[in-house]
């Protein structure tokens, strides 16, 4: 039995129609865990729901250096956040449980969106959100720090780690990124 | 298992090519990224509690 819905056409985010008729629904196949539905508002395609944009499948460990090191890069589609959209991230780090500082950061371009540190712990979290302020190039994060990141074009969210002592280990154990 | 070289850009180590999205484990050892995929023997778990 054929299950596909011929009334909902499939596109990628890049090749979706430039015209977004009011009420028209499309499936964007290259975003989210298994594609997302978007509905035209007469001008733009709007996500019909919150989505899990990215989930880390394995783990990423850092050792052997005190230089800041990229652990993960998440490409984010331009325009996905929209005018008033929000990115929300939850990350869990495991680390050598000693007094040495371990630092982790979330960055977009030259902007550090979130920073966390850990010591005398074997695990901790780094959570943040980034909210467009009715403008795709103006944001606040959860610390009310303002940013001017152009989210209308593709950009990368980069997670880095840094050790104070190269003999220690810092592991990105889990991460999920949502677009709300 | 494969390795990906790192390059220092603006005082941050970055991989020279994109890291795979489906690796079971990635370890940066101070000079390169070591990628463990399905079927690879994983290294011992780090001891976090000293």
What residues in B contact A160, CB-CB < 8 Å? 12
Q: The whole model's pTM is what?
A: 0.93
Q: What are the tokens at A61?
A: 């460990």
The ipTM, to two decimals, is: 0.95
Judged against a pLDDT cut of 70, whether residue B36 lies above it is answered with yes
Q: What is the mean pLDDT of residues B3-18?
A: 97
pLDDT exceeds cutoff 70 at A4: no
Mutate to test the interface with A, among B11, B27, B42, B48 (most CBs of A within 10 A): B48
Chain A residues in contact with B13 by the CB 8 A cut-off are: 65, 67-70
Contact status of B21 with chain A (Cβ, < 8 Å): yes
pLDDT at A2 over 80: no
Chain A residues inside the 8 Å CB shell of B31: 64-65
Q: According to the model, what pLDDT value does residue B29 have?
A: 97
Q: Does B14 touch chain A (CB under 8 A)?
A: yes
| pLDDT given for residue B47 in this prediction | 84
pLDDT (average), residues B7-35: 96
Q: For the beta carbon of residue A133, count every other beta carbon within 10 angstroms.
A: 13
Q: Is the pLDDT of residue A6 over 80?
A: no
B34 and A CB contact within 8 Å: no
pLDDT (0 to 100) of residue B49: 82
Q: What is the pLDDT of residues A30-76, one digit of tens each?
A: 998 899 999 999 999 999 999 999 999 999 999 999 999 999 999 99
Q: Where are the beta strands (DSSP E) in A122-179?
A: 123-132, 139-141, 146-147, 155-163, 170-179
Nearest residue of A to residue B7, measured between CA atoms: A69
Average pLDDT, chain A: 94
**Separation of alpha carbons B39 and B41, rounded Å:** 7
The Cα–Cα gap between B12 and A71 comes to 11
With an 8 Å Cβ cutoff, are B24 and A73 in contact?
A: no
Q: Is A160 on the interface with B (CB under 8 A)?
A: yes
CA A179, CA A158: separation in Å to the nearest integer? 16
A119 in contact with chain B, both atoms CB, cutoff 8 A:
no
pLDDT of residue A178: 97
Check residue A33 and give its pLDDT: 86
- A129-135 long-range contacts, CB within 8 A, separation 24+: A129/A86, A129/A87, A129/A88, A129/A89, A129/A180, A130/A86, A130/A87, A131/A84, A131/A85, A131/A86, A132/A81, A132/A82, A132/A83, A132/A84, A132/A85, A132/A86, A133/A84, A134/A83, A134/A84, A135/A83
């Amino acid at each position: 039995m054929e299950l596909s819905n011929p009334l909902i056409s499939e596109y990628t985010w890049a090749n979706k129609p430039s015209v977004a008729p009011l009420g028209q629904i499309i499936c964007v196949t290259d975003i989210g865990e298994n594609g997302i539905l978007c509905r035209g508002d007469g001008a733009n395609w709007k996500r019909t729901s919150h989505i899990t944009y990215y989930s880390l499948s394995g783990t990423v460990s850092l050792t052997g250096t005190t230089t800041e090191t990229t652990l993960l890069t998440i490409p984010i589609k331009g325009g996905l956040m929209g005018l008033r959209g929000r990115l929300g991230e939850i990350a869990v780090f495991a680390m050598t449980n000693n007094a040495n500082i371990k630092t982790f950061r979330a960055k977009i371009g030259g902007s550090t969106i979130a920073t966390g540190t850990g010591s005398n712990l074997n695990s901790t979290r780094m959570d943040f959100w980034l909210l467009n302020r009715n403008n795709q190039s103006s944001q606040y994060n959860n610390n009310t720090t303002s940013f001017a990141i152009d989210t209308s074009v593709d950009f990368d969210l980069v997670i880095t780690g840094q050790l104070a002592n190269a003999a220690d280990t810092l592991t990105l154990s889990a991460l999920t990124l949502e677009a709300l | 298992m494969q390795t990906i070289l790192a390059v220092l850009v603006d005082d941050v180590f970055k991989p020279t090519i994109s890291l795979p999205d489906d690796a079971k484990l990635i370890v940066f050892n101070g000079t390169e990224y070591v990628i463990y995929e399905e079927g690879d023997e994983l290294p011992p778990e780090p001891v976090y509690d000293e």
